[in-house]
Every structure is written in structure tokens, then in C-alpha cells.
Amino acid sequence: MAQSENEILDGIAELVNEETGLPKESVEMDKSFTDDLDIDSLSMTSIVVHAEEKFGVTIPDEDSKNLRTVRDVVAYIQQAQG
């Protein structure tokens, strides 16, 4: 069952906060994980692993490497939950 965009955004913001200590408010739709939030690839992989569990989806490596912005992840999860 698909969650709303805002629910997913809040969930991602929580994961980013736990992983990096960045404030949840800094996790905005148009932010890039690497360029804007300065999250390294190991932390990004952790976030993806946790996101799979949290949202009950599978994000294969070939897809996750294309997820650049927060919006990309939210959209992917929403579609996967579809």
C-alpha cells in the first residue's frame, strides 16, 4: 500500500538524520544527497538498506545508483509500493 509523498519524505529525513546527524528539516525534495547534503557513498548505501526495510521495498543496486535527489528516492519508493 503506497504511502503519501510527505510520509515517505519524513521517513527518509529520519533515516538521514540517524545516519549523519543532519537536521531532518535539511532533507528537502530538491536536495542532492552527495552535492547538497554531503553524504558519502557508504552512508548512502546504509540509508538505502534501511529504506528498503522501512518502506517494504527492494531497491536494486542498478537503480539506487541513479537516485540523486531526495525527490528521486521518494518517487522510486512510491512507485515500488504502488
Partner 1 sequence: MSEQTPRSAAAGTSGAVVVTGMGATTPLGGDVPSTWEAALAGRSGARPLTMPFVEELGLPVTFGGTLAVPATDVLPRHESKRLDPSAQYALIAGREAWAQAGAPEVEGERLGVVVATGIGGVTTLIGAYDVLRERGPRRVLPLTVPMLMPNGAAGALAIEFGAQAGAHSPASACASGAEAIAYAAEMIRTGRADVVIAGGTEAAILALPIAAFASMHALSLRNDTPETASRPYDVTRDGFVLAEGAGVVVLESEAHAAARGARVLGTVAGAGITSDAHHIAAPDPEGLGATRAMRLALQQAGAQPSDVVHVNAHATSTPVGDVAEAVALRAALGGATDGVAVSATKSMTGHLLGGAGSLEAIFCLKALEDGLAPPTINVTELDPQIDLDVVLDEPRKIPSGPDVVALNNAFGFGGHNAALAITGPRGGAA
CB 14 within 8 A of CB 51: no
Toward partner 1, which CB reaches closer, 58 or 66?
Answer: 58
In the chain, beta strands by DSSP E: none
Compute CA 7 distance to the chain's CA centroid, rounded to the nearest angstrom.
Answer: 12
Residues that bind partner 1 (CB under 8 A): 17-21, 41-43, 45-46, 49, 52-53
Toward partner 1, which CB reaches closer, 5 or 34?
Answer: 34
Toward partner 1, which CB reaches closer, 32 or 43?
Answer: 43
SS3 82: coil
Q: How far is the CB of 46 from partner 1 (least distance, A)?
A: 5
